[in-house]
Amino acid sequence: MRRPTGLIIGTLLTLGLVAGACGGSSDDESAESSPATTVATADAPTGADGKISAERCAKNNDAGTITFLTSFDYAAAASIIDVVTAADQGHYSALCLDVKLQPGFSSSNVALVSTGTAQMTSLGSFSEVAVANSQGAALVAVGVEGHASIEELLVEKAANITDLKQLEGKSMGIKGAIPYSLRALLAAKGVDEKKITQIEVDFNPVVLFQTDIVALPVYKSNEPGQLDAQGYAGKYTAFDPRDNNIPASFAVFTTSKSFAQKHPTAVADFLRATLKGFQYAADKPDAAVATTLKRSDPKLYFNPAGEAFRWKTELALVRSSTPKGSAVGAIDAAALQAEVDSLVKLGVLAKGSVDVAASINSSFMGEITKNGELIWIG
């Protein structure tokens, strides 16, 4: 599993928000198009001693404790592993930030950040931000690491399904709901969702072969690796929204509009430290994965091999999906608008119910990067 999935329902007043989970790439995806992540020093918020300036330090201290909610415990996933690594390496404290990491899930993070109980989080997709804001939240996406779907649909080969339209009249296993990117894929293929029997299943992907379901939404960085390790390699077909140009995103750093307005330097420097953590995790994946495993809940069955697969897959997808010439975390406003437009076509959102421009703030990434490079202190 990567993150729990589900549709956002209810209202912020009841904290009954169940967010659609946050695509991936195969292990052999080339990093040739990887965005630059070299650390530069130009325009950094540096004092005379080569450290953060006293003025900026004071502003960051004014933000108080910044509680960051992870989107799925301490998985070695994009927007989690980099935060854990940044904390472990002391990057937040170097920028005078008091960051408290707290394990969370997308299903509750939206409400907690909206109400100020937590200040920062990563969500499974920009779709979660859009749906929440359409229901009265005031969230803003400040950084996006993944510019493609983290989900794909696995279909048992024995079912002899070569066209997704053939899923009508058959059963699909779900964990809460079909993720937005896969719903968009099904719609693009002319599939009527109402003609698919959706059955709630647990997080063990072998249910695809041990029950009557023939299809299973999964995270590319998790379930395929689990199935292959258990001897099911070659026994399923993967349908990837990315292969069909379905607009999607994952690992979306999000805060409330009020926190971003009150503490802009803290938001910018949180992202700055986090992306420095990303570079460390990219350069030293084994060490970074080990850092997440020290924090993860043993009841969630994380293991070194599975987490190494997760990070390798997500790192490749982040690199290959980041717009050329942009830094990791850059916001692609046009792509996010297309993602919301897709939700409108699906009927998830009413036309005009979400102002995409007001739901993103690219100024923070613009401040901490230059020419596709992260600006650090010192």
Give the H/E segment covering residue 224: helix 223-229
pLDDT at 43: 55
pLDDT at 300: 81
Contact 215, 222 (CB under 8 A): no
Which tokens go with 316?
Answer: 């490749």
* Overall number of domains in the chain: 2
Position 3 in a domain:
no
Return the SS3 of 279: helix
* Residue partners of 48: CB distance under 8 A and separation at least 6: none
Domain boundary among 196, 225, 244: 244
Tokens 């140009």 sit at which residue?
245
pLDDT at 176: 87
| Among the ranges given (7-11, 246-250, 336-340), the one the predictor scored with the smallest mean pLDDT | 7-11
pLDDT at 44: 64
Contact 78, 315 (CB under 8 A): yes
Looking at the fold, whether 259 and 286 belong to one and the same domain comes out as yes
Looking at the fold, whether 136 and 170 belong to one and the same domain comes out as no
Instruction: Average the pLDDT over 356-368 and give the result.
Output: 97
Tens of pLDDT, residues 175-213? 988 999 999 999 999 999 999 999 999 889 999 999 999
For strands 98-102 and 171-174, give the pairing.
unpaired
pLDDT at 210: 95
Contact 239, 153 (CB under 8 A): yes
Contact 126, 141 (CB under 8 A): yes
> Average model confidence (pLDDT) for the chain?
89
Tens of pLDDT, residues 275-292? 999 999 999 999 999 999
Domain boundary among 208, 224, 244: 244
Looking at the fold, whether 325 and 217 belong to one and the same domain comes out as no
Tokens 């975390």 sit at which residue?
329
Looking at the fold, whether 173 and 310 belong to one and the same domain comes out as no
Looking at the fold, whether 55 and 196 belong to one and the same domain comes out as no
pLDDT at residue 76 greater than cutoff 50: yes
pLDDT at 13: 30
Sign of CA dihedral 93, 99, 105, 107: negative
Tens of pLDDT, residues 15-51? 333 333 333 333 333 333 344 444 443 356 888 788 9
Position 2 in a domain:
no
Looking at the fold, whether 238 and 212 belong to one and the same domain comes out as yes
pLDDT at 378: 73
How far apart CA 24 and CA 242 sit, in angstroms, is 8
Domain around 197: 151-244
pLDDT at 20: 33
Instruction: Average the pLDDT over 295-315 and give the result.
Output: 93
Q: What is the value of pTM for the model shown?
A: 0.88
| Among the ranges given (90-94, 162-166, 176-180), the one the predictor scored with the smallest mean pLDDT | 176-180
Q: At what angle do helices 126-134 and 333-346 cross, to 10 degrees?
A: 60
Looking at the fold, whether 144 and 157 belong to one and the same domain comes out as no
The strand order across the sheet containing 151-156 reads 197-200, 171-174, 215-219, 151-156, 236-239
pLDDT at 224: 97
* Residue 191 falls in which region: left (phi positive, over 0), alpha (psi -120 to 50) or beta: beta
pLDDT at 33: 36
- Reported as a pLDDT band with limits 50, 70 and 90, residue 167 is very high
Q: Exposed/middle/buried for 198, CB within 10 Å: 0-12, 13-18, 19+?
A: middle
Instruction: Average the pLDDT over 241-254 and give the result.
Output: 96
pLDDT at 16: 34
Looking at the fold, whether 346 and 287 belong to one and the same domain comes out as yes
Instruction: Average the pLDDT over 168-177 and give the result.
Output: 95
pLDDT at 357: 97
**Alpha helix (H) ranges present in 147-206?**
180-188
Looking at the fold, whether 270 and 235 belong to one and the same domain comes out as no
For strands 171-174 and 197-200, give the pairing.
parallel
* Residue partners of 64: CB distance under 8 A and separation at least 6: 98
Instruction: Average the pLDDT over 243-250 and give the result.
Output: 96
Instruction: Average the pLDDT over 344-364 and give the result.
Output: 96
The dihedral over CA atoms of 70, 72, 75, 80, expressed in degrees to the nearest 10, equals -30
Looking at the fold, whether 120 and 258 belong to one and the same domain comes out as yes
Which tokens go with 35?
Answer: 């965005």
Percentage of the chain surpassing pLDDT 70? 88
Looking at the fold, whether 122 and 173 belong to one and the same domain comes out as no
Which tokens go with 125?
Answer: 């997709």
CATH, residue 239: 3.40.190.10
Residue 260 Cα distances to 93, 218, 249, 288, angstroms: 19, 33, 21, 28
